[in-house]
Chains A and B, each alone.
Chain A
Amino acid sequence: MLARLFKSEPVYLFFRSPAAMLAAIVAILVLGGAIFAPLLASTDPYDLSSFSLMDGLLPPLWEGGNPRFLLGTDDQGRDMISAILYGARLSLTIGLMAMAVASVLGVGLGLAAGYFGGRFDAIVMRIADIQLALPAILTALLIDGISRGVLPPAIHQDLRVAVLTLAIALSLWVNFARTARASVFVERNKDYVQAAMIMGQHPVRVMLRHILPNIMGPLLVIMTVDLASAILLEATLSFLGIGLPADSPSLGTLIRIGMQFLLSGEWWILWVPTLFLVALVVSINVLGDFLRDVFNPRLR
């Protein structure tokens, strides 16, 4: 079983591609760091009592900082490493959840639209058209704006992560829906689907058991690319001050805070989280690119 896996085309190509391997290592490291943040971080950046202003604005170790804070501290005396790990944890959580919601919603609608065609397809695609006229970031901003108007401020604070996730998910589902629908259009005329339809199998079974496994390739690519988009979108919203507040900083929030130190000498407060975010997203995109090449051999 394992031997067959290693002989398979994607795995073979993976071990031939240094870029993909490096990206996978970076992605796994970041993911591991995010998951085990409470164990790895020396301080809890959400707990104001665990750090003191006395340690504020310490530079990284090699610029003469304190050995307790390898990458220095911010103005509050927060350890940068701890802040980044917790920030990545939050960014990845939101990104993964948004991607999951968007893929279930989008793939479901796309599958059904492609399979049934006709009026249902027309309605879904018109909604997708409208969604396209309002790009992702606009949709996310809008949903956040609406939630501010509708929800009382206290509740809005509590629901920020959920609202942010939903906003990002709703701005990304179209990609999934369009890809799934286009693939279904190709697949549904193939004989194996026709065979299942002739047998009288239930449409849900035909879609999930027969069609879905055969269109996973392009969907996997979209998933990776959209995970990167979701993380970027979260960072952007937080940077704009619409996303997460300073007391529970995601990577985007950390960068926004760091902006205040752009002109003063404390470069690490800005560039450390920035580099971390870029490394994470680059590695996800490299993996997405690799998958795209694997599933579309003609472009190789």
Chain B
Amino acid sequence: MAFFILKRLIQSIFVMIAVAFLAFSLFRFVGDPVSQMTGVETSAEDSARLREELGLNDAFIVQFGRFTRNMLQGDFGYSYRTRQPVADMIASRIPATLELGTVALLISLLVGIPTGIFTALRPRGFVTQSILLTTLVGVSIPTFVIGIMLIFLFGVQLGWLPTFGRGGTVQIGGWTSSLFTFDGWRALILPALTLGVYQLTLTMRLVRAEMMEVLRSDFIRFATARGIPYRSLYFRHALANTMVPVITIIGLQFGGVIAFSIVTESVFQWPGMGLLFLESIRFVDIPVMGVYLVVIAFFFVLVNMIVDLLYVAIDPRLRVREDG
């Protein structure tokens, strides 16, 4: 078991190094950092001195080492566009994105898993077929269209909910939260729904497929033949076995949530990391793009480590050594 965890940890570190390398290559090779930092009136000597100061004349590997070390110490460099430290810019945007993503993921799990189970247990009913058709339409509607439709309905036509921004926020330490005010929740509902609906359909279809697979397995047939009550059959035997593959995929979905939050944030002008990333692409603000990548990859790796631990908790085959 310890070996399994360690193996995944090493893989995660490998992914992080690769992404850091990508970010560094971006910074180093896409455009010239010096000409980005200096204006037209800067003399050639000044440019050369800046180049030397930034260490751009050092060997590539030395530069990458310095880049990584700085990152580990929290020094993410400066934005080309605003000249602010990238670390501050990202840090101020992280809470908005994380709150949005977490609420969206919760919506997708709390609705997706039960409906997935329901549709697996009654595969032929009218309700199931309707749900399946709805989710098929759901995965086919682009996130931004869902956002537009929600804005149109609840914002424009009905006027119930705000259509942009975070509403009332509360400052807790360095964390700006919209979870503690009524206004904040009102502002959160539409973007979180927009982001959650797509993931919800994926979760539901996945749970359904896995559950139907498990319900067909020999041990469920054997348990049925032993007269185990259906409730236990479905929710004790089948569900646990369904969750083993499902949690893996949910870990991967977190990446999707963060990625699609770019779209959602753009539609709702939600001041999160995604919006920052979009702006930085438009202005070719390479340092911000690079750091955004690293931060996203870090969250992704972190969530998948947690998923691996859950995996170990659920599956005895990973916990208990073979001795038969």
Contacts and interface: CB of A to CB of B under 8 A. Distances in A.
A278 B140 contact: yes
B301 A133 contact: yes
B79 interface: no
B18 interface: yes
Interface stretch (B40-48, B86-94, B250-258, B305-313): B250-258
Which of B148, B209, B278 has the most chain A CB within a 10 Å cutoff? Answer: B148
A130 B15 contact: yes
Given A259-B148, A278-B140, A240 B19 contact: no
Contacts of A235: 142, 144
Contacts of B263: 137, 236, 239-240
Interface stretch (A29-37, A41-49, A141-149, A196-204): A141-149
> Is chain A's interface secondary structure helix, strand, loop, or mixed overall?
helix
Interface stretch (B107-115, B228-236, B289-297): B289-297
B265 to A, nearest CB: 10
B133 A19 contact: yes
A297 to B, nearest CB: 11
Given A133-B297, A142-B289, A285 B140 contact: yes
Interface bin, chain B: 35 or more
B143 interface: yes
B213 interface: yes
Interface in B170-187: none
Contacts of B19: 130, 133-134
A255 interface: yes
A270 interface: yes
A120 to B, nearest CB: 17
A246 to B, nearest CB: 15
Contacts of B133: 19
Contacts of B14: 126
A68 B201 CA distance: 41
A191 to B, nearest CB: 25
Interface string B76-104: 00000000000000000000000000000
A148 B143 contact: no
B57 interface: no
A272 to B, nearest CB: 13
Main SS class of interface, B? helix
Contacts of B282: 241-242
Contacts of B278: 141, 240, 242
B15 A148 contact: no
Nearest to A149: B30
A285 B31 contact: no
Contacts of B54: none
Given A135-B258, A241-B282, A274 B152 contact: no
B145 A255 contact: yes
A145 B31 CA distance: 11
B137 interface: yes
A136 B31 CA distance: 24
A254 to B, nearest CB: 12
Given A236-B263, A274-B148, A132 B139 contact: no
A38 B217 CA distance: 55
B60 to A, nearest CB: 18
B11 interface: yes
Given A137-B259, A262-B156, A299-B209, A285 B136 contact: yes
A189 to B, nearest CB: 21
Given A149-B284, A150-B30, A228-B140, A298 B213 contact: yes
A145 B255 contact: no
Nearest to B25: A146
Contacts of B318: none
Interface of B: 11, 14-15, 18-19, 26, 30-31, 133, 136-137, 139-145, 148, 151-152, 156, 209, 212-213, 216, 252, 255-256, 258-260, 262-263, 266, 277-278, 280-282, 284, 286, 289, 293, 296-297, 300-301
Given A145-B280, A262-B152, 18 more contacts: A126-B11, A130-B19, A133-B15, A133-B300, A137-B259, A138-B293, A141-B277, A149-B31, A149-B284, A236-B143, A236-B144, A239-B263, A255-B145, A262-B148, A282-B141, A285-B139, A298-B213, A299-B213
24 contacts: A126-B11, A126-B15, A132-B252, A133-B19, A133-B255, A133-B296, A133-B300, A135-B255, A135-B259, A137-B259, A141-B277, A142-B293, A148-B284, A149-B30, A150-B30, A228-B140, A235-B144, A236-B142, A236-B143, A239-B144, A242-B281, A285-B136, A299-B209, A299-B213
Question: Closest 8 A-B residue pairs measured CB to CB?
Answer: A135-B259, A149-B30, A282-B140, A145-B281, A281-B140, A133-B300, A149-B31, A135-B255
